[in-house]
Structure 1
Amino acid sequence: MAKPSVNPPSAPATVESLTPRGRKTRDSLIGAARTVFEDVGFLDTRVEHIAQEAHVSYGTFYRYFESKEEIFYELSTRLFEDVHHHREPSESAGSPAEKLIASNRAYYEAYRRNARLMAIVEQVATFNEDFRLVRQEHRRQLTDRTARAINRWQRDGRVRADLDPVLAARAMAAMVDHTLYLWLVQGDTADAEALLDTLDSMCLGALGLGQG
Protein backbone atom coordinates (compact mmCIF):
# COMPACT_ATOMS: atom_id res chain seq x y z
CA MET A 1 0.00 0.00 0.00
CA ALA A 2 1.05 3.62 -0.42
CA LYS A 3 3.19 5.28 2.22
CA PRO A 4 1.65 7.93 4.48
CA SER A 5 1.97 11.58 3.53
CA VAL A 6 3.25 12.39 7.03
CA ASN A 7 6.05 10.18 8.31
CA PRO A 8 5.55 8.91 11.87
CA PRO A 9 8.48 9.35 14.25
CA SER A 10 9.06 5.59 14.40
CA ALA A 11 7.72 2.40 12.87
CA PRO A 12 4.41 1.15 14.30
CA ALA A 13 4.57 -1.66 16.83
CA THR A 14 3.96 -5.18 15.58
CA VAL A 15 0.79 -6.94 16.71
CA GLU A 16 2.85 -9.61 18.46
CA SER A 17 4.64 -7.01 20.59
CA LEU A 18 1.48 -5.32 21.86
CA THR A 19 0.13 -5.61 25.36
CA PRO A 20 -3.55 -6.56 25.81
CA ARG A 21 -4.31 -2.87 26.23
CA GLY A 22 -2.38 -2.06 23.07
CA ARG A 23 -4.28 -4.68 21.10
CA LYS A 24 -7.54 -3.25 22.39
CA THR A 25 -6.52 0.21 21.21
CA ARG A 26 -5.48 -1.17 17.84
CA ASP A 27 -8.80 -2.96 17.41
CA SER A 28 -10.59 0.23 18.43
CA LEU A 29 -8.76 2.10 15.68
CA ILE A 30 -9.75 -0.53 13.13
CA GLY A 31 -13.39 -0.29 14.20
CA ALA A 32 -13.25 3.49 14.04
CA ALA A 33 -11.64 3.35 10.60
CA ARG A 34 -14.49 1.20 9.31
CA THR A 35 -17.03 3.72 10.60
CA VAL A 36 -15.24 6.66 9.00
CA PHE A 37 -14.57 4.92 5.68
CA GLU A 38 -18.22 3.90 5.43
CA ASP A 39 -19.41 7.40 6.36
CA VAL A 40 -17.23 9.57 4.12
CA GLY A 41 -15.48 7.17 1.73
CA PHE A 42 -11.82 6.33 1.27
CA LEU A 43 -10.66 9.51 -0.48
CA ASP A 44 -12.15 11.92 2.06
CA THR A 45 -11.00 9.98 5.11
CA ARG A 46 -8.08 11.46 7.05
CA VAL A 47 -6.02 9.96 9.84
CA GLU A 48 -7.30 12.61 12.22
CA HIS A 49 -10.89 11.53 11.48
CA ILE A 50 -10.06 7.96 12.50
CA ALA A 51 -8.25 9.09 15.64
CA GLN A 52 -11.18 11.28 16.65
CA GLU A 53 -13.68 8.46 16.07
CA ALA A 54 -11.53 6.15 18.23
CA HIS A 55 -11.13 8.87 20.91
CA VAL A 56 -7.33 8.76 20.77
CA SER A 57 -4.71 11.33 19.84
CA TYR A 58 -3.41 11.80 16.31
CA GLY A 59 0.00 10.52 17.41
CA THR A 60 -1.53 7.38 18.93
CA PHE A 61 -2.70 6.31 15.49
CA TYR A 62 0.88 6.21 14.25
CA ARG A 63 1.91 3.89 17.08
CA TYR A 64 -0.16 1.21 15.35
CA PHE A 65 -0.41 2.10 11.64
CA GLU A 66 1.73 4.00 9.16
CA SER A 67 -1.15 5.48 7.15
CA LYS A 68 -4.83 5.31 6.32
CA GLU A 69 -3.85 2.98 3.48
CA GLU A 70 -2.32 0.51 5.91
CA ILE A 71 -5.34 0.47 8.21
CA PHE A 72 -7.61 0.11 5.18
CA TYR A 73 -5.56 -2.89 4.09
CA GLU A 74 -5.96 -4.46 7.55
CA LEU A 75 -9.68 -3.73 7.57
CA SER A 76 -10.13 -5.16 4.08
CA THR A 77 -8.23 -8.32 4.97
CA ARG A 78 -10.63 -8.90 7.85
CA LEU A 79 -13.53 -8.22 5.50
CA PHE A 80 -12.30 -10.74 2.95
CA GLU A 81 -11.85 -13.37 5.64
CA ASP A 82 -15.44 -12.84 6.78
CA VAL A 83 -16.96 -12.76 3.31
CA HIS A 84 -14.97 -15.62 1.81
CA HIS A 85 -14.58 -17.89 4.82
CA HIS A 86 -17.72 -19.94 4.13
CA ARG A 87 -17.64 -19.57 0.32
CA GLU A 88 -15.89 -22.83 -0.54
CA PRO A 89 -18.20 -25.79 -1.14
CA SER A 90 -17.34 -28.13 1.72
CA GLU A 91 -16.47 -31.80 1.69
CA SER A 92 -19.07 -32.57 4.35
CA ALA A 93 -22.19 -34.66 3.82
CA GLY A 94 -24.61 -33.56 1.15
CA SER A 95 -24.85 -33.53 -2.61
CA PRO A 96 -22.75 -31.12 -4.72
CA ALA A 97 -25.92 -29.12 -5.41
CA GLU A 98 -26.69 -28.78 -1.71
CA LYS A 99 -23.11 -27.73 -0.96
CA LEU A 100 -23.11 -25.14 -3.75
CA ILE A 101 -26.43 -23.66 -2.65
CA ALA A 102 -25.27 -23.50 0.98
CA SER A 103 -22.06 -21.78 -0.14
CA ASN A 104 -23.96 -19.21 -2.20
CA ARG A 105 -26.33 -18.44 0.67
CA ALA A 106 -23.48 -18.05 3.16
CA TYR A 107 -21.74 -15.67 0.76
CA TYR A 108 -24.92 -13.63 0.35
CA GLU A 109 -25.34 -13.27 4.12
CA ALA A 110 -21.71 -12.17 4.54
CA TYR A 111 -21.94 -9.75 1.61
CA ARG A 112 -25.16 -8.27 3.02
CA ARG A 113 -23.49 -7.72 6.42
CA ASN A 114 -20.58 -5.93 4.77
CA ALA A 115 -22.22 -4.24 1.78
CA ARG A 116 -21.16 -0.67 2.63
CA LEU A 117 -17.53 -1.61 3.08
CA MET A 118 -17.58 -3.89 0.04
CA ALA A 119 -18.64 -0.89 -2.03
CA ILE A 120 -15.59 1.06 -0.86
CA VAL A 121 -13.28 -1.90 -1.40
CA GLU A 122 -14.40 -2.24 -5.01
CA GLN A 123 -14.00 1.50 -5.53
CA VAL A 124 -10.46 1.64 -4.13
CA ALA A 125 -9.44 -1.34 -6.28
CA THR A 126 -10.19 0.76 -9.39
CA PHE A 127 -7.56 3.43 -8.67
CA ASN A 128 -5.04 1.96 -6.20
CA GLU A 129 -2.76 -0.48 -7.99
CA ASP A 130 -1.43 -2.12 -4.82
CA PHE A 131 -4.88 -2.73 -3.48
CA ARG A 132 -6.13 -3.95 -6.86
CA LEU A 133 -3.50 -6.69 -6.71
CA VAL A 134 -4.58 -7.57 -3.16
CA ARG A 135 -8.21 -7.78 -4.31
CA GLN A 136 -7.21 -9.98 -7.24
CA GLU A 137 -5.31 -12.33 -4.93
CA HIS A 138 -8.33 -12.77 -2.65
CA ARG A 139 -10.51 -13.48 -5.69
CA ARG A 140 -7.94 -15.98 -6.96
CA GLN A 141 -7.91 -17.83 -3.63
CA LEU A 142 -11.70 -18.01 -3.72
CA THR A 143 -11.97 -19.26 -7.28
CA ASP A 144 -9.11 -21.74 -6.80
CA ARG A 145 -10.97 -23.35 -3.90
CA THR A 146 -14.18 -23.52 -5.92
CA ALA A 147 -12.27 -24.95 -8.89
CA ARG A 148 -10.90 -27.73 -6.70
CA ALA A 149 -14.44 -28.61 -5.63
CA ILE A 150 -15.60 -28.68 -9.26
CA ASN A 151 -12.66 -30.87 -10.22
CA ARG A 152 -13.50 -33.22 -7.35
CA TRP A 153 -17.09 -33.49 -8.54
CA GLN A 154 -15.91 -34.13 -12.11
CA ARG A 155 -13.80 -37.06 -10.91
CA ASP A 156 -16.90 -38.41 -9.18
CA GLY A 157 -18.92 -38.06 -12.37
CA ARG A 158 -21.26 -35.47 -10.85
CA VAL A 159 -20.30 -32.44 -12.97
CA ARG A 160 -19.87 -31.99 -16.73
CA ALA A 161 -16.44 -33.28 -17.72
CA ASP A 162 -16.07 -30.80 -20.61
CA LEU A 163 -15.84 -27.79 -18.31
CA ASP A 164 -12.56 -26.14 -17.38
CA PRO A 165 -12.82 -26.04 -13.54
CA VAL A 166 -10.90 -22.78 -13.17
CA LEU A 167 -12.85 -20.92 -15.87
CA ALA A 168 -16.13 -22.26 -14.55
CA ALA A 169 -15.27 -21.13 -11.02
CA ARG A 170 -14.27 -17.67 -12.26
CA ALA A 171 -17.41 -17.26 -14.36
CA MET A 172 -19.72 -18.30 -11.53
CA ALA A 173 -17.92 -16.07 -9.01
CA ALA A 174 -18.16 -13.09 -11.38
CA MET A 175 -21.88 -13.67 -11.93
CA VAL A 176 -22.67 -13.98 -8.22
CA ASP A 177 -20.36 -11.12 -7.20
CA HIS A 178 -21.67 -8.65 -9.74
CA THR A 179 -25.30 -9.56 -9.10
CA LEU A 180 -24.89 -9.00 -5.36
CA TYR A 181 -22.98 -5.76 -6.00
CA LEU A 182 -25.76 -4.35 -8.17
CA TRP A 183 -28.41 -5.50 -5.72
CA LEU A 184 -26.89 -4.74 -2.30
CA VAL A 185 -24.61 -1.82 -3.20
CA GLN A 186 -26.20 -0.11 -6.19
CA GLY A 187 -29.73 -0.67 -4.90
CA ASP A 188 -31.29 -2.71 -7.69
CA THR A 189 -34.68 -3.91 -6.51
CA ALA A 190 -35.43 -7.62 -6.47
CA ASP A 191 -37.18 -10.19 -4.33
CA ALA A 192 -34.41 -11.70 -2.21
CA GLU A 193 -35.49 -15.33 -2.37
CA ALA A 194 -36.33 -15.17 -6.07
CA LEU A 195 -32.97 -13.64 -6.91
CA LEU A 196 -31.03 -16.13 -4.80
CA ASP A 197 -32.99 -19.05 -6.24
CA THR A 198 -32.20 -17.77 -9.73
CA LEU A 199 -28.47 -17.49 -8.97
CA ASP A 200 -28.48 -21.02 -7.56
CA SER A 201 -30.31 -22.40 -10.60
CA MET A 202 -27.90 -20.72 -13.01
CA CYS A 203 -24.84 -22.03 -11.15
CA LEU A 204 -26.27 -25.54 -10.97
CA GLY A 205 -27.29 -25.44 -14.63
CA ALA A 206 -23.85 -24.29 -15.73
CA LEU A 207 -22.28 -27.29 -14.01
CA GLY A 208 -24.94 -29.73 -15.12
CA LEU A 209 -26.02 -30.44 -11.55
CA GLY A 210 -29.51 -31.39 -10.49
CA GLN A 211 -31.08 -30.23 -7.24
CA GLY A 212 -30.50 -33.58 -5.57
Structure 2
Amino acid sequence: MREPTAVQQTRRDVGPITDRGAARRRQLLDAARRVFERQGFTDARVADIVKEAHASHGTFYTYFDTKEAIFVEVARTVIEDMHEDMAVAVPTSGLDLRVHDAIDRFIHAYRPNAAIIALMEQLALDSVEMRALRLDLRDSFVQRTRRGIERMQADGSVPADLDVEYTAEALGAMLEYTCHLWFSLGKEFEERRLADALAGIWFATLHPEGHGAP
Protein backbone atom coordinates (compact mmCIF):
# COMPACT_ATOMS: atom_id res chain seq x y z
CA MET A 1 0.00 0.00 0.00
CA ARG A 2 1.36 3.39 -0.99
CA GLU A 3 2.21 5.92 1.72
CA PRO A 4 -0.07 8.99 1.63
CA THR A 5 1.32 12.45 1.13
CA ALA A 6 0.90 14.97 3.93
CA VAL A 7 -2.00 16.59 2.06
CA GLN A 8 -3.69 13.25 1.47
CA GLN A 9 -3.33 12.25 5.11
CA THR A 10 -4.82 15.54 6.25
CA ARG A 11 -7.81 15.12 3.95
CA ARG A 12 -8.34 11.57 5.18
CA ASP A 13 -8.13 12.68 8.81
CA VAL A 14 -10.23 15.86 8.73
CA GLY A 15 -12.17 15.51 5.49
CA PRO A 16 -12.35 17.78 2.45
CA ILE A 17 -11.77 21.47 3.18
CA THR A 18 -13.54 22.82 0.07
CA ASP A 19 -16.97 22.29 -1.47
CA ARG A 20 -15.28 20.83 -4.53
CA GLY A 21 -13.37 18.35 -2.39
CA ALA A 22 -16.54 17.35 -0.54
CA ALA A 23 -18.30 16.81 -3.87
CA ARG A 24 -15.46 14.60 -5.14
CA ARG A 25 -15.52 12.52 -1.97
CA ARG A 26 -19.29 12.15 -2.22
CA GLN A 27 -18.91 11.12 -5.87
CA LEU A 28 -16.45 8.40 -4.87
CA LEU A 29 -18.74 7.14 -2.09
CA ASP A 30 -21.75 6.99 -4.40
CA ALA A 31 -19.73 5.17 -7.04
CA ALA A 32 -18.30 2.75 -4.48
CA ARG A 33 -21.76 1.92 -3.22
CA ARG A 34 -22.96 1.08 -6.73
CA VAL A 35 -19.90 -1.08 -7.35
CA PHE A 36 -20.25 -2.94 -4.04
CA GLU A 37 -23.95 -3.53 -4.63
CA ARG A 38 -23.29 -4.80 -8.14
CA GLN A 39 -20.12 -6.85 -7.61
CA GLY A 40 -19.96 -7.57 -3.90
CA PHE A 41 -17.01 -6.67 -1.72
CA THR A 42 -14.52 -9.37 -2.73
CA ASP A 43 -14.78 -8.81 -6.48
CA ALA A 44 -14.86 -5.02 -6.30
CA ARG A 45 -11.57 -3.22 -7.01
CA VAL A 46 -10.39 0.32 -6.51
CA ALA A 47 -10.07 0.46 -10.30
CA ASP A 48 -13.77 -0.33 -10.63
CA ILE A 49 -14.67 2.43 -8.20
CA VAL A 50 -12.62 5.14 -9.89
CA LYS A 51 -13.98 4.09 -13.28
CA GLU A 52 -17.54 4.28 -11.98
CA ALA A 53 -16.82 7.70 -10.45
CA HIS A 54 -15.01 9.00 -13.55
CA ALA A 55 -12.10 9.84 -11.27
CA SER A 56 -8.41 9.04 -11.09
CA HIS A 57 -6.60 6.71 -8.72
CA GLY A 58 -4.90 9.79 -7.31
CA THR A 59 -8.25 11.29 -6.41
CA PHE A 60 -9.29 8.06 -4.70
CA TYR A 61 -6.11 7.92 -2.62
CA THR A 62 -6.53 11.54 -1.64
CA TYR A 63 -9.54 10.53 0.46
CA PHE A 64 -9.24 6.78 1.09
CA ASP A 65 -6.28 4.48 1.53
CA THR A 66 -7.97 1.13 0.71
CA LYS A 67 -11.10 -0.50 -0.63
CA GLU A 68 -11.88 -1.47 2.96
CA ALA A 69 -11.70 2.16 4.09
CA ILE A 70 -14.22 3.38 1.55
CA PHE A 71 -16.56 0.48 2.32
CA VAL A 72 -16.54 1.50 5.99
CA GLU A 73 -17.62 4.99 4.95
CA VAL A 74 -20.33 3.57 2.70
CA ALA A 75 -21.57 1.48 5.63
CA ARG A 76 -21.62 4.53 7.90
CA THR A 77 -23.67 6.40 5.32
CA VAL A 78 -26.17 3.54 5.23
CA ILE A 79 -26.49 3.69 9.01
CA GLU A 80 -27.07 7.45 8.90
CA ASP A 81 -29.66 7.06 6.14
CA MET A 82 -31.54 4.38 8.06
CA HIS A 83 -31.48 6.44 11.25
CA GLU A 84 -32.94 9.35 9.32
CA ASP A 85 -35.61 7.20 7.66
CA MET A 86 -36.74 5.79 11.00
CA ALA A 87 -36.60 9.10 12.87
CA VAL A 88 -40.10 10.22 11.98
CA ALA A 89 -43.17 10.99 14.04
CA VAL A 90 -44.70 7.97 15.77
CA PRO A 91 -48.45 7.66 16.44
CA THR A 92 -49.11 8.65 20.02
CA SER A 93 -52.15 6.46 20.62
CA GLY A 94 -53.32 2.99 19.73
CA LEU A 95 -50.98 0.05 20.21
CA ASP A 96 -51.99 -1.45 16.85
CA LEU A 97 -51.11 1.77 15.01
CA ARG A 98 -47.76 2.05 16.80
CA VAL A 99 -46.81 -1.52 15.95
CA HIS A 100 -47.77 -1.23 12.29
CA ASP A 101 -45.92 2.09 12.04
CA ALA A 102 -42.71 0.63 13.51
CA ILE A 103 -42.74 -2.32 11.12
CA ASP A 104 -43.58 -0.27 8.04
CA ARG A 105 -40.81 2.24 8.83
CA PHE A 106 -38.24 -0.53 9.31
CA ILE A 107 -39.15 -2.23 6.03
CA HIS A 108 -39.02 1.12 4.23
CA ALA A 109 -35.57 1.87 5.68
CA TYR A 110 -34.14 -1.62 5.17
CA ARG A 111 -35.21 -2.22 1.57
CA PRO A 112 -32.90 0.23 -0.30
CA ASN A 113 -29.95 -0.65 1.94
CA ALA A 114 -30.30 -4.44 1.97
CA ALA A 115 -27.31 -5.18 -0.28
CA ILE A 116 -24.88 -3.15 1.81
CA ILE A 117 -26.29 -4.55 5.06
CA ALA A 118 -25.73 -8.08 3.73
CA LEU A 119 -22.11 -7.21 2.90
CA MET A 120 -21.66 -5.70 6.36
CA GLU A 121 -22.82 -8.98 7.88
CA GLN A 122 -20.39 -10.97 5.74
CA LEU A 123 -17.44 -8.75 6.60
CA ALA A 124 -18.39 -8.61 10.29
CA LEU A 125 -17.26 -12.22 10.64
CA ASP A 126 -13.64 -11.17 10.14
CA SER A 127 -13.60 -7.43 10.87
CA VAL A 128 -13.94 -6.03 14.39
CA GLU A 129 -14.73 -2.58 12.98
CA MET A 130 -17.42 -3.88 10.67
CA ARG A 131 -18.90 -6.00 13.45
CA ALA A 132 -19.15 -2.90 15.62
CA LEU A 133 -20.85 -0.95 12.82
CA ARG A 134 -23.33 -3.75 12.12
CA LEU A 135 -24.19 -4.08 15.80
CA ASP A 136 -24.54 -0.31 16.06
CA LEU A 137 -27.09 -0.35 13.26
CA ARG A 138 -29.01 -3.15 14.95
CA ASP A 139 -28.78 -1.59 18.39
CA SER A 140 -30.20 1.70 17.16
CA PHE A 141 -33.39 -0.07 16.08
CA VAL A 142 -33.58 -2.29 19.16
CA GLN A 143 -33.15 0.69 21.48
CA ARG A 144 -35.83 2.62 19.61
CA THR A 145 -38.16 -0.36 20.02
CA ARG A 146 -37.23 -0.61 23.68
CA ARG A 147 -38.01 3.06 24.30
CA GLY A 148 -41.34 2.65 22.54
CA ILE A 149 -42.27 -0.33 24.71
CA GLU A 150 -41.25 1.57 27.84
CA ARG A 151 -43.51 4.46 26.87
CA MET A 152 -46.38 2.04 26.33
CA GLN A 153 -45.70 0.44 29.70
CA ALA A 154 -45.92 3.87 31.27
CA ASP A 155 -49.38 4.52 29.80
CA GLY A 156 -50.66 1.03 30.57
CA SER A 157 -50.74 -0.28 26.99
CA VAL A 158 -48.19 -3.00 27.76
CA PRO A 159 -47.94 -5.22 30.88
CA ALA A 160 -45.68 -3.76 33.55
CA ASP A 161 -43.91 -7.09 34.08
CA LEU A 162 -42.86 -7.53 30.43
CA ASP A 163 -39.10 -8.04 29.98
CA VAL A 164 -38.61 -4.96 27.81
CA GLU A 165 -34.92 -5.48 27.01
CA TYR A 166 -35.16 -9.03 25.72
CA THR A 167 -38.55 -8.52 24.09
CA ALA A 168 -37.09 -5.68 22.03
CA GLU A 169 -34.10 -7.88 21.12
CA ALA A 170 -36.29 -10.81 20.06
CA LEU A 171 -38.79 -8.75 18.08
CA GLY A 172 -35.96 -6.89 16.38
CA ALA A 173 -34.21 -10.13 15.42
CA MET A 174 -37.42 -11.49 13.92
CA LEU A 175 -37.97 -8.40 11.82
CA GLU A 176 -34.33 -8.12 10.72
CA TYR A 177 -34.03 -11.74 9.63
CA THR A 178 -37.33 -11.61 7.80
CA CYS A 179 -36.06 -8.60 5.83
CA HIS A 180 -32.78 -10.43 5.18
CA LEU A 181 -34.67 -13.42 3.75
CA TRP A 182 -36.85 -11.10 1.69
CA PHE A 183 -34.45 -8.52 0.29
CA SER A 184 -31.08 -10.31 0.38
CA LEU A 185 -31.89 -13.98 -0.20
CA GLY A 186 -34.83 -13.44 -2.54
CA LYS A 187 -37.59 -15.13 -0.54
CA GLU A 188 -40.87 -13.92 -2.02
CA PHE A 189 -43.42 -12.30 0.26
CA GLU A 190 -46.59 -10.29 -0.23
CA GLU A 191 -45.62 -7.04 1.49
CA ARG A 192 -48.91 -6.08 3.12
CA ARG A 193 -49.68 -9.63 4.17
CA LEU A 194 -46.21 -10.04 5.65
CA ALA A 195 -46.29 -6.69 7.45
CA ASP A 196 -49.70 -7.55 8.91
CA ALA A 197 -48.45 -10.96 10.08
CA LEU A 198 -45.39 -9.41 11.73
CA ALA A 199 -47.57 -6.78 13.36
CA GLY A 200 -49.87 -9.51 14.66
CA ILE A 201 -46.95 -11.29 16.33
CA TRP A 202 -45.70 -8.02 17.84
CA PHE A 203 -49.16 -7.10 19.05
CA ALA A 204 -49.73 -10.52 20.64
CA THR A 205 -46.37 -10.22 22.41
CA LEU A 206 -46.95 -6.70 23.69
CA HIS A 207 -50.66 -7.13 24.40
CA PRO A 208 -51.13 -10.68 25.71
CA GLU A 209 -54.62 -12.02 26.18
CA GLY A 210 -56.10 -10.85 29.44
CA HIS A 211 -54.18 -7.58 29.57
CA GLY A 212 -56.30 -4.46 29.80
CA ALA A 213 -57.18 -2.61 26.60
CA PRO A 214 -54.65 0.04 25.50
- 1:57-76 matches, within 5 Å, as 57-76=56-75
Q: Which has the higher helix share?
A: 2
Counterpart amino acid of residue 141 in structure 1? S
Of 1, 8, 14, which residue of structure 1 is paired with 2:4?
A: 8
Q: Which residue does the alignment assign to 2:98?
A: 99
Counterpart amino acid of residue 72 in structure 1? F
| DSSP 3-state at the match of 2:142 | helix
For residues 94 and 180 of structure 2, the distance between their equivalents in structure 1, rounded to whole angstroms, comes to 28
Counterpart amino acid of residue 150 in structure 1? I
Write the deviation string for residues 28-69 of structure 1: whole angstroms up to 9, x where unpaired. Answer: 000010011111111222222211211111111111122222
Tell me how many residue pairs correspond in the alignment: 208
Write the deviation string for residues 49-108 of structure 1: whole angstroms up to 9, x where unpaired. Answer: 211211111111111122222211111111122224344685553323312211210111
Counterpart amino acid of residue 81 in structure 2? D
User: Stretches of 4+ moved more than 4 A in 1?
Assistant: 14-17, 88-92, 209-212
Q: Percent identity?
A: 36
Counterpart amino acid of residue 81 in structure 1? E
Q: Comparing 119-128 with 157-166, which one deviates more in the overlay?
A: 119-128
Q: Comparing 109-118 with 151-160, which one deviates more in the overlay?
A: 109-118
- 1:11-26 matches, within 5 Å, as 11-13=9-11, 14=13, 17-26=16-25
CA RMSD for the aligned pairs? Answer: 2.3
Q: Comparing 157-166 with 86-95, which one deviates more in the overlay?
A: 86-95
Q: Which residue does the alignment assign to 2:181?
A: 182
Contact 1:89 1:103 in 2 (8 A): no
Q: Which residue does the alignment assign to 2:207?
A: 208
1:174 shift after superposition = 0.3
Contact 1:36 1:49 in 2 (8 A): yes
Q: Which residue does the alignment assign to 1:122?
A: 121
1:137 shift after superposition = 2.2
Contact 1:15 1:23 in 2 (8 A): no
For residues 54 and 130 of structure 1, the distance between their equivalents in structure 2, rounded to whole angstroms, comes to 26
Counterpart amino acid of residue 9 in structure 1? T
| DSSP 3-state at the match of 1:41 | helix
1:17 shift after superposition = 4.5
Q: Comparing 69-78 with 81-90, which one deviates more in the overlay?
A: 81-90
TM-score using structure 1 length:
0.88
TM-score using structure 2 length:
0.87
Contact 2:36 2:44 in 1 (8 A): yes
Write the deviation string for residues 138-172 of structure 1: whole angstroms up to 9, x where unpaired. Answer: 22232122212211211211112222111111111
For residues 153 and 186 of structure 2, the distance between their equivalents in structure 1, rounded to whole angstroms, comes to 37
Q: Comparing 82-91 with 59-68, which one deviates more in the overlay?
A: 82-91
| DSSP 3-state at the match of 1:163 | coil
Which runs of no fewer than 5 residues in structure 1 stay unpaired?
none
- The 3 A distance-change label for structure 1 pair 106 and 200 is same
